[in-house]
Amino acid sequence: MKIRNYWNLRDWGASVWEGANRTKRVAIALTAIVLVALLPFAGASFLATPIASYDAVLVYPVGIFVLMALGLNIVVGKSGMLDLGYVAFFAIGAYTMALMGTHTGLNTWEIMPFGIAFAMIAGVLLGLPTLRLRGDYLAIVTLGFGEIVRLVVLNSTWSKGPNGIANVPMPPDIGPLKFKLDDQKVFFWVVVIMILLTIWMIRRLSVRRPGRAWEAIRQDEDAAELMGVPTLKYKIWSFTLGAAVGGAAGVLYASKNLFIAPEMFTLNVSILILSCVVFGGIGNIWGVVVGATILGYLPDRIRFISDARMLVFGTVLVVVMNFRPDGLLPRKKREKVIVKKEVVA
């Protein structure tokens, strides 16, 4: 058991954080944020991605994956509902941006609230009838929803079907910070800010009533209902907040990519984001961030081995999940920890 403690980064991190006073915590947080913000300047180091442009990789897949994984983690990790159609909310955000951006003349920041709102509305509409289902049944229904959204945009004229929508406007410059395709630092910083806002939101909710309700629902839904937790309401809330984050990620993605098409919103994306959550450590924010970063970054980092790339990627997934079945940085499992101790004693 002791050997494993060296690997227990989560507890090590938690002990450093809990041992620090307020000024020290601010210092740690600021240092971390500055280091992350400087990442796009590290393109000449071993971090460089061989074929894809490094700063673009940091925005998509890495940044967008982290954002989406955090959103999906609210649904899967916090309240324990398996959602296999998360890409739908990403698509709704992206199509909101593309359609409004090409038709209304509003800019990305003005469209952002619409993208989030439409994703949330879709979340409520899907959630109300389906969240009475549990486990596998919910997974199948959400999977179907993801496919429905894709098939609708594939077969509609307003979405230009399989041709997709081109000429999606870029975000307007923020003072001296210019959004450019060949230098995506500013995009990256915007994603980082969105990630920080999401983390802040999740952390605040987690220690309040919604967090306790989600935790109870995840552990025993019937018992939660018997305690007076309006389980359906809180499940819809969880689903809708997850949808909001997915929608925001979609808006940014469309505005960065300038072109979107239905083929970008397949079931694969839902599965990949779910993999990020599970790989990193379901339910643990930092685990999810690490997991999504690795799974977003790795395929581009090893692009030099071309064809074998996805094989290596898959092998890494299998090996890591074998040795760390709860993910890289798992959430605290108190019920397990103490049981193990008792067995040893």
Partner 1 sequence: MRLEIKDLHVHYGKIEAIKGISVVVNEGEIVTLIGANGAGKTTTLKTISGLRKVSSGAIIFDGQDISNVPAHERVDLGISQAPEGRGIFPGMTVLENLEMGKFHRKNRKAEMDEDLDKVYTLFPRLKERISQAGGTLSGGEQQMLAIGRALMSRPKVLLLDEPSMGLAPQMIANIFRIITEINKTGVTILLVEQNAQQALQRAHRAYILETGNVVKEAKASDLLNDPAVREAYLGTGAHS
Closer CB to partner 1, residue 160 or residue 212? Answer: 212
**84 and 267 in contact (C-beta within 8 Å)?**
yes
Using CB under 8 A as the binding rule, whether residue 14 contacts partner 1 is answered as no
**110 and 283 in contact (C-beta within 8 Å)?**
no
Bridge partners of 133, per DSSP, are: none
What residues from 30 to 69 belong to the interface with partner 1 (CB under 8 A)? none
Q: How far apart are CA 209 and CA 229, in angstroms?
A: 10
CB of residue 266 to partner 1, shortest distance in Å: 35
Which listed residue (47, 209, 263, 312) binds partner 1 by CB under 8 A?
Answer: 209
Using CB under 8 A as the binding rule, whether residue 11 contacts partner 1 is answered as no
Using CB under 8 A as the binding rule, whether residue 2 contacts partner 1 is answered as no
CB of residue 285 to partner 1, shortest distance in Å: 17
Closer CB to partner 1, residue 136 or residue 222? Answer: 222
Using CB under 8 A as the binding rule, whether residue 182 contacts partner 1 is answered as no
**217 and 231 in contact (C-beta within 8 Å)?**
yes
Which listed residue (4, 22, 208, 334) binds partner 1 by CB under 8 A?
Answer: 334
Cβ-based burial of 304 (10 A; exposed 0-12, middle 13-18, buried ≥19):
exposed
**278 and 284 in contact (C-beta within 8 Å)?**
no
CB of residue 231 to partner 1, shortest distance in Å: 7
The DSSP code for 77 is I
Using CB under 8 A as the binding rule, whether residue 135 contacts partner 1 is answered as no
**201 and 73 in contact (C-beta within 8 Å)?**
no
What residues from 210 to 249 belong to the interface with partner 1 (CB under 8 A)? 212-213, 215-216, 219-220, 222-231
The DSSP code for 62 is I
Which listed residue (129, 318, 335, 344) binds partner 1 by CB under 8 A?
Answer: 335
CB of residue 81 to partner 1, shortest distance in Å: 17
Q: Say whether the peptide bond before residue 169 is cis (omega within 30 degrees of 0).
A: no
Binding part of the chain for partner 1, among 66-74, 121-129, 265-273, 334-342 by CB under 8 A, reads 334-342
CB of residue 223 to partner 1, shortest distance in Å: 4
CB of residue 332 to partner 1, shortest distance in Å: 8
Closer CB to partner 1, residue 79 or residue 255? Answer: 79
x/- track of binding to partner 1 for residues 260-299 (CB under 8 A): ----------------------------------------
- Alpha-helical regions (H) of the chain: 2-6, 9-19, 22-38, 54-57, 64-73, 87-103, 108-130, 135-155, 185-206, 209-219, 221-226, 231-257, 267-280, 285-301, 309-323, 334-344
Using CB under 8 A as the binding rule, whether residue 342 contacts partner 1 is answered as yes
CB of residue 62 to partner 1, shortest distance in Å: 31
Q: How many chain residues touch partner 1 (CB under 8 A)? A: 24
Q: Is 82 helix (H, G, I), strand (E, B) or coil?
A: coil
Q: How far apart are CA 17 and CA 35, in angstroms?
A: 18
Q: How far apart are CA 63 and CA 198, in angstroms?
A: 12
Interface residue list for partner 1 (CB under 8 A):
209, 212-213, 215-216, 219-220, 222-231, 333-335, 337-339, 342
